[in-house]
Chains A and B, each alone.
Chain A
Amino acid sequence: SQQGEEDPQALSIQEGENATMNCSYKTSINNLQWYRQNSGRGLVHLILIRSNEREKHSGRLRVTLDTSKKSSSLLITASRAADTASYFCATDDPQVNAGNNRKLIWGLGTSLAVNP
């Protein structure tokens, strides 16, 4: 069952603006990951943040993690039309992934539209 919940479900912004998406989860985690999916394509991994990290950067991406609130945010700065996609968070639950299962718990995604 899905445990991650992203909000907003949909976001529409102008090119050059920043986009912020949030993810909440319910259990303890080893790490939280963000993935991107262009329409009709497979998912692509963007960034991973571990449970003992609070913030991580990769290019125009900034991810924060608050384990006390069980939430994460993904910030895309200076957005471009090419950033238009759906963004998913996924968590790695240490109780689920004992051994080598490596199952991820997925959110429902945020659909981002960046208008030129």
Chain B
Amino acid sequence: SQTIHQWPATLVQPVGSPLSLECTVEGTSNPNLYWYRQAAGRGLQLLFYSVGIGQISSEVPQNLSASRPQDRQFILSSKKLLLSDSGFYLCAWTRVGLETQYFGPGTRLLVL
């Protein structure tokens, strides 16, 4: 069966510090991978998605970036965090032929 992992679960970072959030998927190959951000009490905002290694599509211009160094690894990064980067970050996967997205447990980021 497939599983998706995200870490860390919670992160408190000062403004201006770097960020690295990791997402890995097990039990499938060549997944489509997605990074979402969810502000408190709000819906999902798609940040990045990837259909293959090294292929990243950005949905919203911002100070975040994403990379996919391996088939089942998706990383969300920032060189300098802003207060507005606080939120709940969710990673999800799907595959060509599937219509459902499967979500990780999320990372709660608080930038102070």
Contacts and interface: CB of A to CB of B under 8 A. Distances in A.
Interface of A: 2, 4, 30-31, 33, 40-45, 48, 88, 90, 92, 100-104, 106-109, 111
A31 B98 CA distance: 12
Nearest to A99: B51
Give the 7 A-B residue pairs with the shortest CB-CB distance, closest first.
A42-B103, A108-B43, A106-B44, A100-B96, A43-B103, A45-B100, A42-B105
Contact-residue bracket for chain B: 20 to 34
Interface of B: 32, 34, 41-46, 49, 51, 57, 88, 90, 92, 94, 96, 98-106, 108
Contacts of B99: 30-31, 33, 48, 92, 102
Contact of B96 (A43, A88, A102): A102
24 contacts: A2-B43, A4-B43, A30-B99, A31-B99, A33-B99, A40-B88, A40-B108, A41-B105, A42-B105, A43-B90, A43-B92, A48-B99, A88-B43, A88-B44, A100-B51, A100-B96, A102-B32, A102-B94, A102-B96, A102-B98, A102-B101, A106-B46, A107-B43, A111-B41
Given A100-B51, A100-B96, A106 B102 contact: no
Contacts of B57: 101
B43 A103 contact: no
